Structure 1
Amino acid sequence: MRNRNGIFWGIFLVLSAAILVVSQMHLLTYSFGFWTVVVTIFLAAVLIKSLVYFSIPGTVFSLAFLGIVYAKPLGITAIVPWTLLGAALLVSIGLSMIFRPLLAKHRPWMNYHKNFSKGHHGPFYSFDYTSEPDVKTVDDPDVNVYVKMGSSIRYVKSDDFSSANIDVSMGDAKVYFDNVKVNDTATISVNVSLGGAELFVPRNWNIIKGLDNNMGNITEVGNVENDIDSPDITIVGRVSLGNLKINYV
């Protein structure tokens, strides 16, 4: 993670310097305003970070927004913004489905897909074209939640909770951890893309966040009341064009 952050900031600074120099030297036939340069640098940062972290939605949509910003010099004003954004959405979904096995090798929180045969101990969700959410109670120290184009609710009950893997793509998931016990430490890995996830955790947990936010929204609600005996819970993963809400209950 630290090495990838170094790569991101290094490339970002070099590219930012190049954009500033080119814009001031008027090397291009099309003149760019100050805010256009600022937005370009921001979108370039999102693009680079998405490439470093193998995020297909972040990569596709940052390119789409760059296309909107530079629609006139590119000669694509006829297809912006909604046609281009709609195409970006379809391309993002398609590429995510095609490259999911490859992405699983580079994104550790996705590796739990190999456990699809765990039966009732593996609460995976598959889209069945119904409007009702998929609701299950899970009694297992290791929890897996997979939501794609649907809705899922999981009530976790365990006397020795160890880990949870939550993957949400174009859907929403609510996972309740208020009835679990942690002996020492535990890890919750999340991957939210074009969707939303809500975690309901005990307010006495000591939450350690190692999340990567790519054009997403991460919020915390409730009062924390941890002490020296509180277990350490690490929440890691990525939120890309989605929402993650941590509720302390």
Structure 2
Amino acid sequence: MRKTILGLACLLLAAWVLLQGNFGIPVIHINVWPLLVIMGFVYFSAESFYSGNIPLGFIFAIIAFIIANSTYDLLPNISASAVSFAGILACIGVNFLVKPSKKWKLRHFSKHFSGEEIGGEGIVFGSGTRYVNKDNFSYDELTCSFGSAKVYFDNAKIAGDSATFKVEVAFGNATLFVPSSWQVVSKVACAFGGVSQVRDTSEKEKTLYLEGSVAFGHLKVIYI
């Protein structure tokens, strides 16, 4: 539904850009191209907030506001550094109020920075590795912001015919090591990023569906 609304909004804006000044349609007196970039960041910010990823939502929102402020002079007396610092404080405040049971801890940050195993909170400013060893694997997820992550599925056993892995990558890289007997189907939305995997035409026993988004980063699938 959200993608449908965004798609219709882009089509309406495209028609406005082409037909402005004709048929009584008013002329747009603003720079349109930065506006499209801003709309993209606003969409990913809303998507992140909706999925409960508050830090990533604030990151996208800060970037959108900085671009809008520098292009359209919304608040000319506020610097980009002030916006970033205010966004960090707001993120910490909301994190305390909304998710008191998942507060950031220094030991989590140091663990990620040292590159040890990734916990349920994901990667933020660091690197790490996760091993999915579930005997009845059906769903798992990973968040990687400003860092790099590796996920190994070689000891996982899919319950049924398929499983789903949701990944949210922003300004980082994630690599998935998948058994060669699995088929990987990507449904990941990309913005200034991409997903790559080596084609394997051999017959597969199970299917792994990838969902989520990649923004300013890269997701790679390697068969083992």
Q: TM-score higher than 0.5 here?
A: yes
Q: Which amino acid aligns with 2:208?
A: I
- 1:192 corresponds, among 169, 173, 177, to 169
Q: Measure how far apart 1:4 and its partner are.
A: 0.8
Task: Quote the residue 2:142 is aligned against.
Answer: 166
Task: Quote the residue 1:46 is aligned against.
Answer: 40
Q: Measure how far apart 1:193 and its partner are.
A: 2.9
C-alpha contact 2:112 2:128 (8 A) present in aligned 1? no
3-state SS in 2 of match to 1:224 = coil
C-alpha contact 1:203 1:223 (8 A) present in aligned 2? no
Query: Alpha-carbon deviations, 1:155-204, whole Å to 9, x = none?
Result: 33343322222122333221111232224221111122333322111233
**Is 1:246 aligned to 2:218, yes or no?**
no
Task: Quote the residue 1:63 is aligned against.
Answer: 65
C-alpha contact 2:17 2:28 (8 A) present in aligned 1? no
3-state SS in 1 of match to 2:122 = strand
C-alpha contact 1:8 1:52 (8 A) present in aligned 2? no
3-state SS in 2 of match to 1:10 = helix
**Is 1:176 aligned to 2:152, yes or no?**
yes
C-alpha contact 1:4 1:52 (8 A) present in aligned 2? no
The 5 Å alignment of 1:196-211 reads: 196-211=173-188
The 5 Å alignment of 1:121-140 reads: 126-128=108-110, 131-135=113-117
The 5 Å alignment of 1:1-249 reads: 3-18=1-16, 21=20, 28=29, 36-37=31-32, 39-50=33-44, 52-53=46-47, 54=49, 55-70=57-72, 76=76, 84=80, 86-87=81-82, 89-100=84-95, 126-128=108-110, 131-135=113-117, 144=120, 146-183=122-159, 184-215=161-192, 217-227=193-203, 229-249=204-224
Gaps of 5+ in 2: 50-56
3-state SS in 2 of match to 1:42 = helix
Q: Measure how far apart 1:46 and its partner are.
A: 0.6
Task: Quote the residue 1:110 is aligned against.
Answer: none
Count of paired positions:
207
C-alpha contact 2:169 2:217 (8 A) present in aligned 1? yes
3-state SS in 1 of match to 2:67 = helix
Among all aligned residue pairs of Structure 1 and Structure 2, give the percentage whose two residues are the same amino acid: 25
3-state SS in 2 of match to 1:157 = coil
Q: Which amino acid aligns with 2:44?
A: S
3-state SS in 1 of match to 2:153 = strand
Q: Which amino acid aligns with 1:214?
A: A
3-state SS in 2 of match to 1:128 = helix
How well do the aligned residues superpose, as a CA RMSD in angstroms?
A: 3.8
Gaps of 5+ in 1: 105-112, 117-124, 137-142
Query: Alpha-carbon deviations, 1:56-108, whole Å to 9, x = none?
Result: 3333323323444446xx695x98xxx63x5555455444444458998xxxx
For normalisation by structure 1, the TM-score amounts to 0.64
For normalisation by structure 2, the TM-score amounts to 0.70
Q: Measure how far apart 1:232 and its partner are.
A: 1.5
